[in-house]
Amino acid sequence: MKYLLALLFISTFVFAELEAKSKNSNWWKEAVIYQIYTRSYADSNGDGIGDLNGITAKLDYLADLGIDVIWLTPFYESPNADFGYDIQDYMTVGKEYGTLSDYDKLIREAASRGIYVINDLVLNHTSDRHPWFINSRSSRSSNKRDWYIWHDPNDDAPPNNWQSIFGGSAWKMDALTGQYYYHFFYAGQPDLNWRNPEVQDALSKVMRFWLDRGAAGFRLDVPDTLLEDPEMPDNPIGEGLNWVGDPNMLHKYNMDLPEVHGIMRQLRKVIDEYPAAILLGETGSPETIDELLVWYGESDELHLAMNFLYTNVRELSAEKFTRHVIESDKHTDIGWPVYLLSNHDRTRHLSRFADGLHNNAIAKQLAAMTLTLRGTPILYYGEEIGMTTQDPVRLEDVKDPIGRLFWPDFKGRDGSRTPMQWNSSQYSGFSQVKPWLSVPASAAKINVEIQLNDDQSILTFYRQLLAVRNSSSALRHGEWTHIPTQNHEVFAYLRHSLSESVLVILNMSASEHDLDLQELVMNSTFEVLLSNHDRRFITEALLNLQPYETVIARVLKAQ
Ligand code: NOJ
Ligand code: CA
């Protein structure tokens, strides 16, 4: 068996390896990324909106947590039709978020703590208030006309049946010039024409602008939507309705076109001018691992492609996660996996997986899995204290336009973007004034200050877990091997480097289970590095696992 062979590598007692974090050219393979929804992390100037200086003030917290990279959601000048994902000026810091020198300071202060910063790069569209679009719409002969996608009406109707992902036609008539423009998202987010080399050049300049200031790369917003079929045929329609009540559409001619990989290679060339910089893609459309792997190209496209197939495993089911991870882990030579559970567009994972009885153990278990698989994990701010999604209660409080549009069936994404819960004060330590989104009532009990002083808290567990990961060569870059357990509610695996083996056991059920470790334990002793129960050693061949118990153990001795 593969895992037994791995154990044989270890002939003596192996103690924790405290390897210095070295930023080699593959640093991103060992990194832990922490996503900050910039508007909601910390407000430094009392306007109720999170900002860059607020984040700088929390860098010690982040360094102590043990993360390596922060990914900031857009902080550029924006009219906020989509809260920053509609950019009015790519080379500014929006007034709400600070100044360019605040950005420079954040980069400097982060670097002094060994933390990199990556920016969000929205390539597919700009704001309709971007000067490029204002110029483009001004006349059919504008020198920026071809920077966006304009089309004559089809009789009196839109050019084709393409739908916006946020509902309705993806075409908006612009009376000034009598043509429609195309917007895959809101009408306030017109799509750039990526077939135009001038657009490609302009966005390369944007990239260099931030890389020169010290950004360690970019998270690419929806790279799968960059190109459309120039013939613009109607898309095929499937059965039923989608989440916004439109007919289910197969985005055959306006998503995932093969030519988009040429664009990825161009972006990668720009990135490669900067030795440490990386591209992390929001690769949301793949339905299979093979479709995901395409985004890595021949190591000449994305460094990291988010694995939403993992994010989409809907049940806390050992069988489902086992099946998925076995599949994902097969091709690490082609594409280094990226595991994440939550982000600013989705219901937070604790709200998806909590059962009301074992919430604490479940939060810790999901963290343990995500941070011990082979790959680069992305954490979403607040998950480390067990924040849950708190949807607005009244329509008048909703900020996310799709929440207002589809209320009450869909309450928008505000619920997963609420202010970070720092302490029990009125506005949770996020701000001195009423924040742009309400602080959930849960903040009185679920917050950083309380959890830092509680050795059983979710936050303490995350800190311990990250410390274990950061000091373990096996967890940072070792092989991953599934351990079949005969028990369909337990997911178990081994991570092993040349000098170390770490066993991870996850009981993904509310029942106790006796796990037969005969084969594994026979010649070995395990030191428990971390568990969500009080367990220090595994010496028995039969391990009695508690509900949702998580055990991470280092092999101390194998003969
Ligand atoms: C994906 C982002 O994550 C989401 O928040 C945004 O609305 C769309 N892209 C459009 O930019
Ligand atoms: Ca502020």
516 confidence band (pLDDT: 50, 70, 90) = confident
Q: Which residues in 77-167 belong to E strands, given as ranges? A: 116-121, 150-151
Name which residue sits closest to atom 8 of ligand 1, judged by CA: 85
Q: Is 399 exposed, middle or buried (0-12, 13-18, 19+ CB in 10 A)?
A: middle
d(CA 435, CA 407): 22
Spacing, Cα 526 to ligand 1 middle (Å)? 45
| 512 Cβ closer than 6 Å to some ligand 1 atom | no
pLDDT greater than 70 at residue 522? no
| 185 Cβ closer than 6 Å to some ligand 1 atom | yes
**CB proximity list for 518: less than 8 A, separation 6 or greater:** 541
Is 77 within 8 Å of 89 (Cβ atoms)?
yes
434-471 pLDDT tens trace: 999 999 999 999 999 999 999 999 999 999 999 999 99
Burial 92-114 (b: 16+ CB within 10 A, else e): bbbebbbeeebbeebbebbeeee
Which chain residues have CB less than 5 Å from ligand 2, an ion?
A: 43, 45, 47, 49, 51
| 85 Cβ closer than 6 Å to some ligand 1 atom | yes
Spacing, Cα 142 to ligand 2 middle (Å)? 38
Cα dihedral angle (375, 380, 383, 388), rounded to 10 degrees?
Answer: -130
pLDDT greater than 90 at residue 17? no
From 306, 345, 380, give the residue whose CB has the most ligand 1 atoms within 8 Å, as the site to mutate: 345
169-193 pLDDT tens trace: 999 999 999 999 999 999 999 999 9
Question: Mind giving me the DSSP string for 372-433?
Answer: HSSSEEEEETTGGGT------SSGGG--SHHHHHSTTT---SGGGSPPP--SSSTTTTT-SS
Would you call 273 a catalytic residue per the annotation? Answer: yes
Would you call 77 a catalytic residue per the annotation? Answer: no
Share of the chain above pLDDT 90, in %: 89
Mean pLDDT score, 129-158:
98
Name which residue sits closest to atom 6 of ligand 1, judged by CA: 85
Name which residue sits closest to atom 3 of ligand 1, judged by CA: 345
Question: Which pLDDT value is given to residue 20?
Answer: 37
Ligand nearest to the CA of 80: 1
**CB proximity list for 362: less than 8 A, separation 6 or greater:** 316, 350, 353, 354, 355, 548
Q: Phi and psi of 528, rounded to 5°?
A: -75, 120
d(CA 93, CA 82): 16
Spacing, Cα 122 to ligand 1 middle (Å)? 8
Question: Which pLDDT value is given to residue 10?
Answer: 35
Name which residue sits closest to atom 10 of ligand 1, judged by CA: 85
Question: Which pLDDT value is given to residue 5?
Answer: 44
518 confidence band (pLDDT: 50, 70, 90) = confident
d(CA 516, CA 490): 11
147-156 pLDDT tens trace: 999 999 999 9
From 78, 222, 402, give the residue whose CB has the most ligand 1 atoms within 8 Å, as the site to mutate: 222
d(CA 366, CA 358): 12
* Long-range CB pairs of 57-61, under 8 A, 24+ apart, other chains included: 59/106, 59/109, 59/110, 59/113, 59/115, 60/113, 61/448
d(CA 331, CA 409): 39
Q: How far does Cα 364 stand from its chain's mean position?
A: 18
Is 555 within 8 Å of 499 (Cβ atoms)?
no
Spacing, Cα 109 to ligand 1 middle (Å)? 28
**CB proximity list for 279: less than 8 A, separation 6 or greater:** 217, 218, 220, 264, 267, 268, 271, 301, 302, 303, 304
Average pLDDT over the chain, rounded to an integer: 94
Name which residue sits closest to atom 2 of ligand 1, judged by CA: 221
62-104 pLDDT tens trace: 999 999 999 999 999 999 999 999 999 999 999 999 999 999 9
| 82 Cβ closer than 6 Å to some ligand 1 atom | yes
303, amino acid identity: H
340-399 pLDDT tens trace: 999 999 999 999 999 999 999 999 999 999 999 999 999 999 999 999 999 999 999 999
User: In the numeric block, which tokens belong to residue 257?
Assistant: 């076109």
| 87 Cβ closer than 6 Å to some ligand 1 atom | no
Spacing, Cα 437 to ligand 2 middle (Å)? 13
d(CA 163, CA 540): 59
Ligand nearest to the CA of 85: 1
Spacing, Cα 403 to ligand 2 middle (Å)? 24
Specify the pairing of strand 33-36 against strand 376-380.
parallel
| 120 Cβ closer than 6 Å to some ligand 1 atom | no
- The side-by-side arrangement of strands in the sheet containing 550-558 is 479-482, 490-496, 501-507, 550-558, 524-531, 537-538
d(CA 94, CA 17): 43
d(CA 326, CA 523): 26
22 confidence band (pLDDT: 50, 70, 90) = very low
398-445 pLDDT tens trace: 999 999 999 999 999 999 999 999 999 999 999 999 999 999 999 999
**CB proximity list for 479: less than 8 A, separation 6 or greater:** 6, 374, 495, 496, 497
